[in-house]
Chains A and B, each alone.
Chain A
Amino acid sequence: MSDARDDRLARVIALYESAVGNYLRRRLYPLAAADLDELVADTFTVVWRRLESLPADAELAWIIGVARNVLRNAQRSRRRRDAYEGAVAAQRSAPATEDVVIADARVRHALTALREDDREILLLHEWDGLAVDDLAQLLAISPDAAAVRLSRARARFRALYDEWDEP
């Protein structure tokens, strides 16, 4: 059991370490860059514990889903701690990563004006390179629904981008 299990973990890390790190880096705020390695380790630790659940035909989407949960938990903990320490007031709607790291004001405008679910599927496709089938697996929806949602999100993003006038 253990050899096959170890080999599978080795292969999984070989293939997806960079994708997981990139996914987390894109959405890290308000965590610090110094937290990135720990989040990657936490993600693959969960993968290791649940290796038998990893679907052979959708490994990347499944692992990105794990990273997504790990990141959300860490961000929630961080915001709770910040609120407790009084560093920032607890907010119902904290700024998204895109608000902080996007240098292009036009892109930032279009992204922040999108609904959260539209923004998520758009960035998973455009930045993380997930195809429709992967999006369906990750978001627990049908491939047809994923295709429709992605198409809608892309159309809305393009419209928001095109309507923007530089101040």
Chain B
Amino acid sequence: MRDAFEALAAQDPAAVAYHHGDLAGLTTSIASIRVRPARAPRTFRAAVAATVATAGATTAALIALLGAPALPLIGFAAPRATVLYSTKFATPSNSTAARRSATRPVAGALGPGPSLAAAYRVTLPATSLRAIERLGDALGVVGSIAGYNGTVYSETSPTGARVIYDTSTGLASWRYLPGPTPGLTPAALSRALANQHWGYAPDVPARGGSAAVVVDGSVTSLRVVATVRHGHVVDAVGPAFAVAAIVNYPLRSPTSALEGLSSETRARASSFTLSWTAFTLIDSTEWLLPTFVFHGRAEARPWTASALAIRAAAIGTGR
């Protein structure tokens, strides 16, 4: 049986971390407010970061969940994990038979799902200081580097452009804020980020919005989010990680995963998708693990709940 505080953590309405959609605009507007009558308004250099991942305290709860012998319901809307929304299952690569078996479309009514799926162990691609230097060089943002608490680093150019590398919670994240000068186009930003040796090829949406991060063919719940104005990026954020290992796991059936959840959840779930979500394990390693996202309706509104698609006890064993 779950501990009371594990159950409470699993019900956190902010399991999906908040990010403002237009931080550059937000900071500009706030800093333009006069705070003293004599103070002349002026344009504020855009400079904002945001975390991509989980809060530390809530990660601890997830760690406990993963150590439990029985799979629990994870969260109110989505697992306490890295970014944003659940995504539809998509086609993994054909590099192994195991991963190929997971490519069958599984969205739809509850029933037998794929038998195997890959899990990805991910790590920081570089030390924070080196990462911010590389990022700044790639994006043409060269200037002063500042660090906050040893976990958040930013580099700011003389024109006010800024890049940020944040390792404060869960997976690291990057952010690009060109400031008052025209930023890179989405395509140019994608190309520049492609050389960062991350575990995915950043796909910055051409018209802004968000795009799912695809790791080795698996569509994850991680997102790259960008604001684009007049063809240029004014704000973009996404995760940063390297894939250190790939392990194939046998999957539970969606039906058996549901059996561990509450009767209320079982009654609501009518279909599911498979997604990959970031978790921190007991040994502090970071993984992208296959997760069932159950869909249904509650009080006439869309409803989702999530559960690990593999047995928690199997994590780390590959069985």
Contact = CB atoms under 8 A, between A and B. Distances in A.
Interface of A: 2, 5-7, 9-11, 13-15, 17-26, 28, 36-37, 40-41, 44-45, 48-49, 51, 97, 101-108, 110-111, 122, 125-129, 154, 157-158, 161-162, 166
B148 A104 contact: no
B48 A107 contact: no
Interface stretch (B53-61, B115-123, B219-227, B249-257): B53-61
A15 B263 CA distance: 40
Contacts of B18: 17-18, 20-22, 24-25, 36, 40
Given A21-B14, A126-B8, 12 more contacts: A10-B45, A13-B26, A25-B13, A48-B31, A49-B35, A103-B11, A104-B7, A104-B11, A122-B8, A125-B57, A127-B8, A129-B55
What is the interface of chain A mostly: helix, strand, loop, or mixed?
Answer: helix
Contacts of A45: 30, 33
14 contacts: A2-B42, A10-B44, A14-B49, A15-B49, A15-B152, A26-B13, A40-B20, A41-B26, A44-B26, A48-B31, A103-B76, A104-B262, A106-B7, A127-B57
A21 B55 CA distance: 12
B12 interface: yes
Contact of B152 (A14, A26, A104, A154): A14
Contacts of A24: 18
Q: Which range holds the interface residue count of chain B?
A: 35 or more
B208 to A, nearest CB: 16
Residue from A14, A20, A157 whose CB has the most chain B CB atoms within 10 Å = A14
A158 B8 CA distance: 10
Top 5 A-B residue pairs of the complex, sorted by shortest distance between their CB atoms: A21-B18, A129-B57, A10-B47, A14-B49, A161-B4
Given A49-B35, A154-B5, A127 B76 contact: no
B264 interface: yes
A28 B13 CA distance: 10
A108 B262 CA distance: 13
Nearest to A49: B35
Nearest to A164: B4
Contacts of A126: 5, 8-9, 57
Contacts of A40: 18, 20, 26
Contacts of A125: 57
B13 to A, nearest CB: 5
A152 to B, nearest CB: 15
B210 interface: no
Nearest to A19: B55
Interface string B1-44: 00011011111111001111101001101110101000100101
A157 B19 contact: no
B48 A17 contact: yes
Nearest to B162: A10
Contact of B148 (A9, A11, A17, A19): A11
Nearest to A45: B30
Contacts of B149: 15
